[in-house]
Chain A
Amino acid sequence: DTGVSQDPRHKITKRGQNVTFRCDPISEHNRLYWYRQTLGQGPEFLTYFQNEAQLEKSRLLSDRFSAERPKGSFSTLEIQRTEQGDSAMYLCASSFGRDGEKLFFGSGTQLSVL
């Protein structure tokens, strides 16, 4: 499988717990994006990386959210002290170089905070 891979597919957690998601992009892609999507809405931008550098983080994003891409390959998104409002589908996407805007999405991680 050469597509974008996300793990886990589903995560159920209790409010206040920390969760971490992983994304493996398409191998030759140097850009990696995190989006969040709730029912009936389009994906909302969270952050993106070019190689290992985090180039932008949404100003709407709480400090409880942090993302890393330590070696410019896979990325992790951590949410600390989860709240019920964090329940959503977390989508990872990747793209290549100058074609940067053509995003290819993974299957997503569905987070439910109880």
Chain B
Amino acid sequence: QKEVEQNSGPLSVPEGAIASLNCTYSDRGSQSFFWYRQYSGKSPELIMFIYSNGDKEDGRFTAQLNKASQYVSLLIRDSQPSDSATYLCAVNYGNQGGKLIFGQGTELSVKP
């Protein structure tokens, strides 16, 4: 079983809709959870992080964490064509130091 799993997509949503991106992880010891955005040909860029169960909102982005279900998600409200990118879920395993383990990424396409 992969340590961090995401649907590779592509996920296609119309402009203005809510995009929902999901991620599951295998290690219950995980403590920190991150979402990175990666445009084609560019390097990953940190957009959200969450440490505690529940929701965390930042502008149009909401990260949701459910440690009991080992599930983390990212909601993008009012999706824009400029949000079209690959979204990478990353997990820091507390007992494995500072490294992040990444999922394979979900490609999001926002259609005008």
* A and B together in one complex: yes
Q: Does B102 contact A (CB under 8 A)?
A: yes
With a CB–CB cut-off of 8 A, which chain A residues contact B4? 42
* Contact among A40, A100, A104 with B104 in the assembled complex (CB-CB below 8 Å): A40
Contact of B97 among A55, A104, A106 (CB under 8 A): A55
Name the residue on B nearest A89 (C-beta): B43
Contact B34 A40 (CB under 8 A): no
Q: Please tell me if A112 contacts chain B, counting CB pairs below 8 Å.
A: no
A102 vs B45: C-alpha distance in the bound complex, in angstroms? 10
State which size class the interface on B falls in: 20 to 34
Using A91-B43, A106-B43, A108-B43 as known contacts, say yes or no to A45 and B99 having CB atoms under 8 A apart: yes
Interface size classification for chain A: 20 to 34
State how many angstroms separate the Cβ of A96 from the closest Cβ of chain B.
11
- Kindly report which residue of chain A lies nearest to residue B89, judged by CB atoms: A42
Within 8 A of B (CB), among A30-53: 31, 33, 35, 40-45, 48, 50
Q: Which residues of A contact B97 (CB under 8 A)?
A: 48, 55-56
Residue numbers in B under 8 Å from A35 (CB-CB): 102
Contact at B98–A105, with CB atoms within 8 Å?
no
Chain A residues engaging chain B, CB cutoff 8 angstroms = 31, 33, 35, 40-45, 48, 50, 55-56, 91, 95, 100-108
